[in-house]
């Protein structure tokens, strides 16, 4: 399936990866029949729980692992068909940033960024001409003579990004690159990735278990569970109308989506006399800015309790989530459903409480 009308930078066709039994464990399948495409110029997220297959998937892209079945293409090149020389050429067109930065402590900031160019045999003058603008891009040109031990976590990750851009790649891979950072630093790194994507036209493929990261920076997303892509599409569409239970479970941890624990424990699947329906409303676009609660109260003719809610943006588009409760009578439920339909709201009945 294709995430966009743009031509793909990366495509997986019928890709599986099996690991044989070893002394430390039994044989297992990490990826099982992956069909997915990453559009050129996009920021695409692959999200899933630990062990879902995310890291294996991204390692197939730069040839650190090879598929047991199927094909992985990067800009039309079959990664599995490349010899060692071909893989070295491919890897120069792919930048990689990591969770733990992987900087060399004995080298200065400048020399860390210059390392891929030195390995490629680039001369000193050309290295200087390439590295200093990259340090300026990531906001650390004044730190060029410092060492990693003198930098904060966010600064180290910026150096990692500059190093990944040194060979002028067309694809940037991010492997849990913000997982070790605090929220404020994470946001600054995500803003930098958006700038790089916009200014350099670089395709970014990131894997993460953090839904906040996906929401903040990606245009497209794929949800992976037990080695299979279970849902994919525009990030806005997947977040506002998730169809798979894994996606809904991952989204439940976002602010405004989680129910109070006492309420969650007491939810029932079927109503009894006097119960209240607990309903999640999802609204977006112009609807996100309207006084929906007061209009809902007027429409249903009874009190409506607000349990949780948030207003946010996904890919620059307004989005809101609101959990409300109202009397679970046929009359009230019917009026509420008509109101939801008339106002284009996506709804989900979470259960019933006394």
Spell out the domain ranges in the chain: 8-251, 261-353
pLDDT, tens digit only, all 354 positions of the chain: 334 445 799 999 999 999 998 877 788 899 999 999 999 999 999 999 888 999 999 999 999 999 999 999 999 999 999 999 999 999 999 999 988 888 999 999 999 999 999 998 999 999 999 999 999 999 999 999 999 999 999 999 999 999 999 999 999 999 888 888 888 888 999 999 999 999 999 999 999 988 889 988 999 999 999 999 999 999 988 988 888 999 988 887 776 667 778 888 888 998 889 899 999 888 776 666 667 778 888 888 888 888 887 777 887 777 778 888 999 999 999 999 998 888 878 888 889 998
Structure tokens at 213: 């990261």
Give the pLDDT confidence score for residue 266 in this predicted structure. Answer: 87
Give pLDDT, residue 5: 47
The bridge status of strand 317-327 relative to strand 276-284 is antiparallel
Could you check whether 8-251 and 261-353 share the same CATH topology? no
- The pLDDT value recorded for residue 1 is 39
Question: 0.75 exceeded by the pTM?
Answer: yes
Count the neighbouring beta carbons within 10 Å of the beta carbon of residue 209.
15
- Superfamily per CATH, domain 261-353: ACT domain (3.30.70.260)
Q: For residue 78, what pLDDT is reported?
A: 96
Instruction: Indicate the burial class of 93 (C-beta count within 10 angstroms; 0-12, 13-18, 19 or more).
Output: middle
Beta carbons within 10 angstroms of residue 305's beta carbon: 10
CA dist 85 and 342 (Å) reads: 61
pLDDT in the model for residue 229: 96
SS3 258: coil
CA dist., res. 347 & res. 340, Å (int): 7
Find the radius of gyration of the CA atoms of the chain: 24
Q: 8-251 falls under which CATH superfamily? A: P-loop containing nucleotide triphosphate hydrolases (3.40.50.300)
Q: How far apart, in whole angstroms, are the C-alpha atoms of residue 146 and residue 137?
A: 17
pLDDT at residue number 16: 96
């Amino acid at each position: 399936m294709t995430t966009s009308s743009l031509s793909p930078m990366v495509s997986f066709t019928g890709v599986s990866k099996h690991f044989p039994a070893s002394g430390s464990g039994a044989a297992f399948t990490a990826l099982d029949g992956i069909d997915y495409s990453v559009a050129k110029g996009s920021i695409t997220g692959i999200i899933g729980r630990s062990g879902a297959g995310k890291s294996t998937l991204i390692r197939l892209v730069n040839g650190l692992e090879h598929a047991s079945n199927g094909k992985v293409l990067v800009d039309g090149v079959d990664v599995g068909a490349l010899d060692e020389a071909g893989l070295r050429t491919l890897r120069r067109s792919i930048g990689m940033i990591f969770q733990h930065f992987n900087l060399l402590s004995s080298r200065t900031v400048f020399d860390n960024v210059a390392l891929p160019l030195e390995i490629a045999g680039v001369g000193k003058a050309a290295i200087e001409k390439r590295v200093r603008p990259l340090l300026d891009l990531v906001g650390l040109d004044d730190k060029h003579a410092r060492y990693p031990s003198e930098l904060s976590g966010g600064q180290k990750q910026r150096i990692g990004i500059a190093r990944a851009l040194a060979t002028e790649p067309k694809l940037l891979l991010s492997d849990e690159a913000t997982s070790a950072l605090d929220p404020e630093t994470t946001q600054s790194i995500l803003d930098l990735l958006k700038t790089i994507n916009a200014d350099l036209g670089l395709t970014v493929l990131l894997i993460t278990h953090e839904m906040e990261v996906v929401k903040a920076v990606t245009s497209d997303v794929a949800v992976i569970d037990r080695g299979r892509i279970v849902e994919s599409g525009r990030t806005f569409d997947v977040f506002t109308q998730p169809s798979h239970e894994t996606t809904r479970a991952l989204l439940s941890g976002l602010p405004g989506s989680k129910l109070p624990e006492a309420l969650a424990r007491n939810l029932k699947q079927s109503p009894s006399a006097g119960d209240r329906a607990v309903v999640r409303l999802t609204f977006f676009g112009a609807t996100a800015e309207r006084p929906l609660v007061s209009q809902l109260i007027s429409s249903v003719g009874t009190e409506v309790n607000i349990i949780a809610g948030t207003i946010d943006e996904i890919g620059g588009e307004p989005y809101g989530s609101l959990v409300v409760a109202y009397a679970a009578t046929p009359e009230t439920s019917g009026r509420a459903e008509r109101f939801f339909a008339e106002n284009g709201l996506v709804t989900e009945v979470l259960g019933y409480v006394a």
